[in-house]
Amino acid sequence: MTNTQKTSLTDNMYCLGIESTADDFGVGIARFNGEILANAVEGYVPIEGGIHPREAARHHAEVADKVFCQALTDAKIKPKDLTCISFSMGPGLGPCLRTGATVARALASYLQIPLVGVNHSVAHIEIGKLETGATDPVTLYASGGNTMVTAFESKRYRVFGETLDIALGNCLDVFGRQAGLKNQKGLPLGAAIEQLALKGKNLITLPYVVKGMDLSLSGLLTAATTQLQKEKHPIEDVCYSLQEHAFAMVAEITERALAHTEKKEVLLTGGVAANKRLQTMLKAITEEHDASFNVVPQKFATDNGAMIAWTGTLAYTHGLITPINESYVKLRWRVDKVDVPWIN
Ligand code: ATP
Ligand code: FE2
């Protein structure tokens, strides 16, 4: 057998990761060498309005079995092949997190393999690094529940800037609902706004609130919604203006973090990373600092089990195992409180 034919130990080690922080229930399977073998997901779509946590949790309990079986089929492995089970331990919505944790505990107990609690925000960063090859980036993580700029410093992912009120994705989603937009063909509201914004021509002045390294989006949301209600501007212009203001704010704080840390990579991750206009703006600021721009592939941008599985392998190989009797969920588990011993 030549060197290249040799199979390493990690080729036969697999982590199954369960994601259930909000509206998606996902099960991913990662090989310890970084190959993603499965990324099955079922999303809960509210009949109207935002996510109702208990309804979403009920949905997760109903689809858990199906999504689990789908992931194993996709990965072409059997439950007995799994090395460990990881799950999103927080931050997120209590009922949703608890449903995922219950499934994870049951599987780990039944299969008699270790359980690994994973921080959801760290997982968004780690899947971005794995898929793009970035090693030490300044990361803009923008999703429905989070908007923050982080970078690794002194043993942890430190938060260099964040929203003081609502998250970027939430701002877009609430605006979208107020505008009567629908999740057509399963597309998120942020994507619907992106499509309308492409047809916008006139920039309406809206609140732009950056305070030090942080930003605030609630005033922008109110002002954009008010513009809609006044019916003076076409919806395309309001979508365009909302995006331009919000994205310029997150780009500004990302640029500050980049200048401060002098890192050479920028990573864009989280559900809003799918937005092409946001990608373009961040790429522009990145290039001004001679850094490389990296964006998480779309299938790993929104919540997914693969990122939990991959982060589970990193934690497990560095001795981070969660005893079942300590596996309570942490609704507000901040990224800067998480040990990441796999980074030097
Ligand atoms: P968390 O905050 O816990 O990470 P989440 O469930 O809100 O979780 P994601 O699935 O990562 O997070 O992101 C969903 C968000 O991404 C929604 O707000 C959605 O509107 C937004 N989004 C998805 N596609 C686009 C797009 N093309 N443009 C803008 N926003 C988008
Ligand atoms: Fe997320």
Cα(120) to centroid(ligand 2), Å: 6
The bound ligand whose nearest atom lies closest to the alpha carbon of 269 is 1
User: Whose CA is closest to atom 29 on ligand 1?
Assistant: 190
Using CB distances shorter than 6 Å, the residues near ligand 1 are: 21-23, 92, 120, 143-146, 169, 172-173, 188-191, 194, 270-272, 274-275, 302-303
The token duo for 208 is 């732009």
What is the position in ligand 1's atom list of the atom closest to the CA of 194?
Answer: 28
pTM, 2 dp: 0.95
- Cβ-based neighbours of 250, under 8 Å, separated by 6 or more: 140, 142, 147, 149, 168, 215, 278
The token duo for 147 is 């908007």
Reported as type and span, the H/E element at residue 6 is: none
Cα(222) to centroid(ligand 2), Å: 24
- Could you give the angle at the alpha carbon of 49 between the alpha carbons of 47 and 52, nearest 5°? 80
Cα(140) to centroid(ligand 2), Å: 13
Question: Matching CATH topology for 9-125+303-337 and 133-300?
Answer: yes
Tens digit of each residue's pLDDT, the chain (344 residues): 334 444 566 779 999 999 999 999 999 999 999 999 999 999 998 877 778 999 999 999 999 999 999 999 999 999 999 999 999 999 999 999 999 999 999 999 999 999 999 999 999 999 999 999 999 999 999 999 999 999 999 999 999 999 999 999 999 999 999 999 987 777 899 999 999 999 999 999 999 999 999 999 999 999 999 999 998 999 999 999 999 999 999 999 999 999 999 999 999 999 999 999 999 999 999 999 999 999 999 999 999 999 999 999 999 999 999 999 999 999 999 999 999 999 98
* Amino acid letter for position 77: I
Q: What is the pLDDT of residue 147?
A: 98
DSSP 303: S
Cα-Cα end-to-end distance for the chain? 33
d(CA 296, CA 290): 20
Architecture of domain 133-300: 2-Layer Sandwich (3.30)
Pocket test of ligand 1: the residue of 302, 307, 330, 334 to mutate, having most ligand atoms within 8 Å of its CB, is 302
- Inter-axis angle of helices 168-178 and 235-261, nearest 10: 180
User: Whose CA is closest to atom 3 on ligand 1?
Assistant: 145
Q: What is the largest CA-CA distance in the chain?
A: 73
The token duo for 17 is 């990761």
How do the domains of the chain map onto residue ranges? 9-125+303-337, 133-300
The token duo for 286 is 């990145």
CATH class of 9-125+303-337: alpha beta
Cα(148) to centroid(ligand 1), Å: 13
Pocket test of ligand 1: the residue of 19, 195, 272, 334 to mutate, having most ligand atoms within 8 Å of its CB, is 272
* Amino acid letter for position 325: N
